[in-house]
Amino acid sequence: MLELVLCQAGYPEPMASVTLAHYLVLSAAMFVLGLVGFITRRNLIIMFLCTELMFQAAGLALIAFSRYHLNLDGQTFVIFVLTVAAAEAAMALALVVLLFRRRESLSSEEWAELKG
């Protein structure tokens, strides 16, 4: 029963829903890893890296669904996700550099008064 297969169904052939579940579980695990990192780490840069990990997980789920339904809209949307990730990285890192220049520290707790 535990015999491993070396290749899964080729592109135009439909993919089994169990295979889809594998990819979705992996995507959920990656997302949760990014979430835990975002909550626990106190370095601003690592917090943003963790959001990138969550983007990654969402992209993987989109591509897996796109493959399952043989519909390329999912891949088109991943291009959009990449765009948003790039924009987010540019803006967030510019802000991080500004914040670092102010307090000479990357600790998120330095800016605890921003929570309002």
Partner 1 sequence: MNELAQPILMYVACALGAIGVAMALPRHKPGIALLGGLVAAAGFGAGVLALFLAAEDSSLLPSLFFYVFALLALGAGLRMVTHPRPVYSALYFILTIIASSGLYVLLSAEFMAFALIIIYAGAIIITYLFVIMLATQAPTEEDEESLYTYDTEAREPIWSSAVGFIILAALTAMLFRGAGELPVPSGSGDSQAILAQMPGKVERELRRSGVIGKEASVATEHGVAVIEQGGVRLGDGSVVPLPVGLEPSNVEELGFNLLAEHPMTIEIAGVILLMAMLGAVVLARRQVDLEEAAKARQARTLGQEVGDA
Nearer to partner 1, 104 or 113 (CB): 104
Q: Does 112 bind partner 1 (CB under 8 A)?
A: no
Output the six-digit token pair for 74: 């999912």
**Of residues 13-42, those binding partner 1 (CB under 8 A):** 13-26, 28-30, 32-37, 39-42
Angle in degrees, CA 52, 56, 61, rounded to 5? 150
Sign of CA dihedral 4, 33, 77, 20: positive
- CA–CA distance from 61 to each of 18, 23, 24, 36, 53 (Å)? 14, 7, 6, 19, 13
**Of residues 43-72, those binding partner 1 (CB under 8 A):** 43, 45-46, 48-50, 52-53, 56, 59-60, 63-64, 66-72
Nearer to partner 1, 56 or 115 (CB): 56
At 72, phi and psi to the nearest 5? -85, 0
**Of residues 68-107, those binding partner 1 (CB under 8 A):** 68-73, 75-80, 82-91, 93-98, 100-101, 104-107
**Closest distance of CB 116 from partner 1, Å:** 19
Q: Please name the residues in contact with 79: beta carbons below 8 A apart, sequence gap of 6 or more.
A: none
Nearer to partner 1, 35 or 114 (CB): 35
Nearer to partner 1, 6 or 114 (CB): 6
